[in-house]
């Protein structure tokens, strides 16, 4: 029934134990709250009780965050409640939406306006989640293995990066020297959707005639081609400014948002003025949320449409699908273009958020990471893509960094653990630098113990169970 | 630069392309063997190759220490390094198969993505483990191969071409590897078993072949070849980092696909073609476009050729057309 409960509870138990070390001032409170989140999700509770308890927990964690905005564990706990609200069976739609809105638009901003790291984390999760949702259409639903997905993200980022910065003046005579004003970003997000979708079709046209592993290597190659162009198109015409990248990319005006925050008394609440950096963090947090919302809606509508069913048919059996009259190439191209369009829009947001675009962000590594989010979350499942992105992002820029800080503190204070003086620990051992090690280990273990992902799509789960059954029977013979 | 100059540097360019091609080909053999048997793109092979390079480097440092060399003769030292690297990489490959791929096989999932994601995970893991090793032991990220006069010795060949001794070694070793592997696969009992397992694992098992053992040995052979290639790569390009397997690995995999993945001579031919393409485009693109498109576009050239070739011959140059089972 609750397929995701096992990893979920495991994660929370691990987090709680870590919590006692990482945040001693709130250690016990955190421990209690995180364990409760796990228990409420896991326990056999009546629906009304569960909804109520989740709401209470959300409130408690919010208060904890308000008292101490640097308490990351309370933040993770809130994320946990959010995930639970969306994925637990039997919750009413109203409760789900109310909980999600309250956490995303009240609880997180309350802490984020003081500790902008929380916004940063939220924005990162959002960007990766949108990319994962895009790739989910291609790999998860249509079953087309694309190893060059970051190319579309790059196209979106460069679409705004070039025209929203002094860069375009380099090759268009008479272009405004500062580039287009930041408020054009909204227009360019739409343009990025179109350019990315067109690139998707252009890359897809040759690549999609191939299948399986051949498709993988060709998309990988074409992804690299896009990166090489981004890296070298600084001559003969300086279009992308080469490896130095483009900076500064203009950002939309946040005046109205700042006014609004002042009007509702945010300054008095925090005892400090709302300055530009914090306003921008908040702004991009909201923008990313809106984009994600739209992407999720489009995704759900598409998955339940004629095209969505055609994609699944192709994924399950291409020949049968063809025999049933599904036009293969156009249907696959549509999947490619849709996925590309999502990540193109997020690319434009990314460029504005960073105020900097360079080929560094769009390597093969990035493509593989996005693929891993999709697989970890559960191929073909929309919730899975978001949770996969969130889990890995929290791990990489949250937990591993905290763990490094902890080790550093131990080194400095010379704590002795199991007879070993931590002051002798080599300084090269810095967990924050070894995120790939942890990530790799998680990938391997997940594939061995839970290949269907954290939140599997129904159809996939059924298939895998069938295969397992067959393997078992085969072994008995 | 005149047209005559362009022709004058052609032989040297071709020779360098040949060298690069042999390096790619050596790595491609490992990909192709695993793919031939398991149908799995073993992304971790690029890390197995990199680990070979690191093991070779350690042998050079340990026994070839300039103050007190245990083995003073560089050629003997190289031989020892090759043996150790082959053993080291072979063992790593076998362990990877045992602990990452075999559990998946036992589970019997038909989803091709699952083993591939595992391979990516293994490759991340091996990269960072090597990184930790390099940080703790050398306190640095870059590891430099020592150079030896004997190995760097330059030979003059006809047509104004030159080649270093280590280049000759690369060519000789990779040809030996190809011959040895072809012999192993076609003439020995193990080869027969490998072919049987790659045809049909269950039937092979019924005939008294233990597929697990055979797969394990396939990984051992493929990994050892990767290790040897790693040392030679280190000698040629002198610099090894935990990530230096990635790019050659990618190119080698492209070579394998180009030649028809799963096909041993195909891997060799694919590697040689890719090497030539890269070197030729790297040398001539800047001239032909007045310096507007530089050497950096050589990868674009290589990949676009791959796309074009696959459009006309989706199974690669030597690949067999697999008929669809309905």
Question: Would the pLDDT of B325 be above 50?
Answer: no
- DSSP annotation of B296: G
Confidence band, pLDDT 50/70/90 cuts, at residue A341: very high
Q: Which residues contact B217 (CB under 8 A, 6 or more apart)?
A: B190, B194
Identify the top-confidence range among A37-41, B8-12, B120-124: B120-124
**pLDDT reading at B326 higher than 50:** no
Task: Report DSSP letters for B266-292, one per residue.
Answer: HHHHHHHHHHHHHHHHHHHHHHHTTTS
Neighbours of A95 (CB within 10 A): 18
CB-based contact, B277 to chain A, within 8 Å: no
- How much is the average pLDDT of B231-255? 87
Per residue, the 3-state secondary structure of chain A, as one string, reads CCCCHHHHHHHHHHHHHHHHHHCCCCHHHHHHHHHHHHHHHHCCCCHHHHHHHHHHHHHHHHHHHHHCCCCHHHHHHHHHHHHHHHHCCCCCHHHHHHHHHHHHHHHHHHHHCCCHHHHHHHHHHHHHHHHHHHHHHHHHHCCCCCCCCHHHHHHHHHHHHHHCCHHHHHCCCCCCCCCCCHHHHHHHHHHHHHHHHHHHHHHHHHHCCCCHHHHHHHHHHHHHHHHHHHHHCCCCCCCCCHHHCECCCCCCCCHHHHHHHHHCCHHHHHCCCCCHHHHHHHHHHHHHHHHHHHHHHHHHHHHCCHHHHHHHHHHHCHHHHHHCCCCHHHHHHHHHHHHHHHHHHHHHHHHHHHCCECHHHHCHHHHHHHHHHHHHHCCCCHHHHHHHHHHHHHHHHHHHHHHHHHHHHHHHHCCEECCEEHHHCCCCCCHHHHHHHHHHHHHHHHHHHCCCCCCCCHHHHHHHHHHHHHHHHHHHC
State yes or no: pLDDT of A476 exceeds 70.
no
Give me the residues of B, 251-270, that contact A with CB < 8 A. 253-254, 257, 261
Indicate the pLDDT class of residue A9, thresholds 50, 70 and 90.
low
* pLDDT tens per residue across span A100-134: 888 888 888 888 887 888 888 889 999 999 999 99
Q: Is the CB of B110 less than 8 angstroms away from the CB of A218?
A: no
Q: Does B121 touch chain A (CB under 8 A)?
A: yes
The residue of B36, B105, B122, B125 whose CB has the most chain A CBs within 10 angstroms, and thus the best one to mutate to test that interface, is B125
The confidence score (pLDDT) of residue A23 equals 57
- Of the two residues B218 and B310, the one the predictor is more confident about is B218
A424 has a pLDDT exceeding 90: no
Which has more confidence, B154 or B23?
A: B23
B-chain CB neighbours of A144 within 8 Å are none
pLDDT at residue A128, as a whole number: 92
Tell me, yes or no, if B68 comes closer than 8 A to chain A by beta carbon: no
Q: Which of B41, B123, B294 sits opposite A216 (nearest CB)?
A: B41
- Tell me the mean pLDDT in the region B141-154: 76
The answer on pLDDT for A150 being more than 80 is yes
Q: Residue B126: pLDDT above 80? A: yes
**What would the pLDDT profile of A299-321 be if each residue is shown by its tens digit?**
889 888 898 899 988 888 888 88
Using a CB-CB distance cutoff of 8 angstroms, which residues of chain B are in contact with residue A147? none
Q: Which pLDDT value is given to residue A27?
A: 64
Phi, psi of A252 (to 5 degrees): -60, 160
pLDDT of residue A477: 38
CB contact under 8 A, A451 and B292: no
Confidence of residue A156 (pLDDT cuts 50, 70, 90): very high
Q: What ipTM score was computed for the predicted complex, to two decimals?
A: 0.85
Question: How far apart are the CA of A435 and the nearest CA of chain B, in angstroms?
Answer: 8
Exposure of B233 in the CB half-sphere (CA atoms within 13 A): 34
pLDDT of B145? 78
Contact A199, A152 (CB under 8 A): yes
pLDDT band per the 50, 70, 90 thresholds, residue B47: very high
Give the closest residue to A377 by CA, choosing from A128, A180, A145, A184: A128
Contact (CB<8Å) B132/A429: yes
Checking if the pLDDT of B220 tops 90, the result is yes
Angstrom distance (rounded) from CA A55 to CA A82: 10
Say yes or no for a CB contact (<8 Å) between A451 and B314. no
To the nearest whole Å, the CA of A272 is away from the closest chain B CA by 43
Mean pLDDT of A134-161: 89
% of residues, chain B, pLDDT over 70: 95
Q: Is the pLDDT of residue A6 over 70?
A: no
pLDDT of residue A192: 92
User: Do A76 and A16 contact (CB within 8 A), yes or no?
Assistant: no
Could you tell me which of B293, B303, B299 has the C-alpha nearest to residue A232?
B293
Q: B26 pairs with which residues across the strands?
A: none
Chain A residues in contact with B31 (beta carbon < 8 A): none
Residue B239 has pLDDT above 50, yes or no: yes
Distance CA A197, CA A160 (A): 15
Shortest distance between the Cα of A269 and any Cα of chain B, in A, equals 45
Is the Cβ of B110 closer than 8 Å to some Cβ of chain A? yes
pLDDT at A21: 57
- Pairwise CB contact (< 8 Å): B326 & A319: yes
Average pLDDT, chain A: 81
Confidence class for position A18, pLDDT limits 50, 70, 90:
low
pLDDT at residue A26 in the model: 61
Mean pLDDT for the stretch of residues A185-190: 89
What number of C-beta contacts closer than 8 Å exist between A and B?
A: 148
B9 touches chain A (CB under 8 A): no
Q: Is B321 on the interface with A (CB under 8 A)?
A: no
Confidence of residue A1 (pLDDT cuts 50, 70, 90): very low
Q: Minimal Cα distance from A428: which residue of B?
A: B135
CA of B149 to nearest chain A CA: how many angstroms apart? 35
Site from A221, A318, A427 to mutate, B interface, most B CB atoms within 10 angstroms: A221
Over range B214-241, report the average pLDDT: 90
Residue B150: pLDDT above 80?
no
How close does chain A come to B187, measured CA to CA in Å?
29
Residue B6 has pLDDT above 80, yes or no: no
Residues of B in contact with A217 (CB under 8 A): 253-254, 257, 306
pLDDT greater at residue A472 or residue A237:
A237
For residue B226, give every residue at least 6 positions away whose Cβ sits within 8 Å of its Cβ, in sequence order, or none: B26, B27, B30, B45, B48, B49, B52, B89, B93
The predicted structure's pLDDT at residue A474: 56
Give me the pLDDT at residue A460, please.
64
Tell me which of A447, A454, A460, A463 to substitute to probe the interface with B (most B C-beta atoms closer than 10 Å).
Answer: A447
Exposed, middle or buried by CB within 10 Å (0-12, 13-18, 19+), for B199? exposed
Closest residue of chain B to A432, computed from CA coordinates: B128
Distance from the A434 Cα atom to the nearest Cα atom in chain B, whole angstroms = 6
User: Which of A229, A444, A468 lies nearest to residue B125, judging by beta carbons?
Assistant: A444
> Omega into A428 within 30° of 0, i.e. cis?
no
Q: Within an 8 Å CB–CB cutoff, is residue B243 touching chain A?
A: no
The fraction of chain A above a pLDDT of 70, given in percent, is 88
pLDDT at position A471 is 67
Block residue for tokens 């639903």: A141
Residue B241: pLDDT above 80? Answer: yes
Per residue in A188-246, pLDDT (tens digit) is 999 999 999 999 998 888 888 877 777 888 888 888 888 888 888 877 777 888 888 88
pLDDT tens digits, B274-312? 999 888 888 887 777 776 777 778 888 888 888 888 878
Q: Of A179-188, A245-254, A345-354, A415-424, where does mean pLDDT reach its minimum?
A: A415-424
Per DSSP, B293 falls in state S
pTM more than 0.90: no
Span A157-179, pLDDT tens digits? 999 988 888 887 777 777 777 77
Q: What is the pLDDT of residue B320?
A: 67
């Amino acid at each position: 029934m609750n397929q995701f409960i096992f990893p979920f509870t495991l994660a929370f138990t691990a987090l709680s134990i870590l919590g006692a070390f990482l945040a001693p001032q709130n250690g016990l409170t955190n421990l209690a709250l995180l364990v409760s989140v796990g228990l409420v999700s896991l326990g056999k509770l009546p629906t009304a009780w569960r909804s109520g308890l989740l709401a209470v927990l959300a409130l408690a964690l919010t208060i904890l965050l308000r008292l101490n905005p640097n308490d990351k564990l309370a933040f993770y706990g809130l994320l946990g409640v959010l995930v639970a609200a969306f994925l637990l069976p039997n919750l009413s739609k109203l409760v789900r939406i109310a909980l999600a809105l309250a956490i995303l638009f009240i609880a997180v901003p309350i802490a984020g306006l003081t500790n902008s790291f929380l916004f940063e984390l939220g924005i990162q999760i959002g960007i990766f989640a949108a990319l994962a949702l895009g790739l989910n259409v291609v790999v998860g639903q249509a079953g087309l293995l694309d190893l060059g997905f970051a190319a579309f993200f790059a196209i979106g980022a460069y679409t705004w990066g070039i025209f929203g910065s002094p860069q375009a003046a380099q090759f268009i005579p008479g272009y405004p020297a500062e580039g287009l004003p930041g408020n054009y970003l909204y227009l360019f997000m739409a343009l990025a959707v179109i350019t990315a979708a067109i690139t998707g079709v252009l890359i897809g046209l040759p690549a999609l005639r191939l299948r399986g592993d051949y498709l993988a290597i060709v998309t990988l190659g074409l992804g690299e081609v896009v990166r090489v162009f981004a890296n070298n198109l600084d001559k003969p015409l300086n279009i992308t400014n080469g490896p130095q990248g483009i900076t500064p990319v203009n950002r939309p005006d946040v005046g109205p948002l700042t006014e609004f925050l002042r009007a509702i008394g945010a300054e008095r609440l925090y005892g400090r003025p709302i300055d530009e950096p914090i306003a921008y963090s908040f702004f991009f947090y909201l923008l990313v949320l809106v984009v994600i919302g739209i992407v999720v809606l489009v995704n759900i509508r598409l998955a339940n449409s004629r095209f969505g069913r055609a994609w699944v048919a192709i994924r399950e059996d291409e020949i049968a699908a063809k025999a049933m009259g599904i036009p293969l190439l156009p249907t696959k191209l549509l999947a490619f273009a849709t996925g590309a369009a999502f990540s193109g829009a997020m690319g434009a947001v990314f460029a504005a958020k960073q105020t900097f675009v360079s080929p560094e962000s769009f390597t093969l590594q990035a493509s593989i990471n996005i693929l891993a989010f999709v697989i970890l979350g559960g191929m073909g499942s929309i919730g899975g893509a978001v949770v996969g992105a969130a889990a890995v992002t929290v791990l990489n820029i949250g937990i591993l960094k905290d763990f490094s800080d902890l080790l550093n503190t131990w080194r400095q204070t010379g704590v002795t653990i199991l007879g070993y003086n931590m002051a002798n620990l080599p300084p090269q051992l810095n967990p924050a630098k070894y995120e790939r090690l942890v990530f790799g280990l998680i990938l391997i273990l997940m594939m061995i113990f839970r290949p269907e992902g954290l939140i599997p799509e129904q159809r996939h789960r059924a298939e895998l169970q069938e295969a397992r059954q067959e393997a078992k029977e085969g072994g008995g013979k | 630069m005149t047209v005559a100059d362009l022709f004058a540097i052609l032989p040297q360019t071709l020779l360098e392309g040949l060298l690069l091609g042999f390096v790619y080909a050596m790595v491609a053999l490992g990909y192709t063997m695993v793919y031939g048997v398991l149908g799995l793109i073993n992304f971790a092979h690029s890390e197995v190759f990199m680990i070979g390079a690191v093991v070779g480097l350690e042998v050079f440092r340990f026994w070839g220490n300039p103050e007190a060399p245990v083995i003073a003769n560089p050629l003997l030292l190289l031989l020892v390094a090759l043996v150790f690297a082959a053993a080291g990489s072979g063992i790593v490959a076998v362990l990877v198969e045992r602990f990452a791929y075999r559990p998946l096989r036992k589970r019997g999932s038909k989803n091709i993505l699952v083993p591939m994601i595992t391979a990516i995970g293994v490759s991340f893991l091996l990269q960072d483990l090597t990184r930790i090793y390099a940080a703790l032991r050398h306190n640095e990220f870059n590891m430099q191969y020592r150079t030896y006069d004997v190995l760097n010795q330059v030979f003059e060949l006809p047509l104004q071409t030159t080649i270093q001794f280590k280049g000759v070694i690369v060519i000789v070793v990779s040809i030996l590897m190809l011959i040895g592997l072809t012999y192993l696969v076609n003439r020995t009992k193990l080869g027969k078993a490998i072919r049987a397992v790659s045809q049909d694992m269950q039937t092979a098992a019924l005939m008294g072949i233990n597929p697990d053992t055979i797969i394990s040995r396939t990984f051992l052979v493929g990994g050892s070849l990767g290790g040897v290639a790693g040392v030679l790569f280190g000698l040629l390009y002198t610099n090894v980092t935990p990530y230096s397997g990635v790019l050659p690995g990618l190119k080698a995999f492209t070579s394998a696909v180009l030649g028809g993945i799963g096909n041993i001579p195909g891997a060799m031919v694919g590697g040689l073609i890719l090497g030539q393409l890269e070197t030729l485009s790297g040398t001539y693109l800047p001239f032909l476009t007045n310096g507007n498109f530089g050497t950096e576009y050589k990868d674009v050239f290589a990949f676009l050729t791959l796309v074009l070739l696959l459009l006309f011959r989706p199974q690669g140059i030597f690949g067999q057309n697999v008929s669809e089972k309905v």
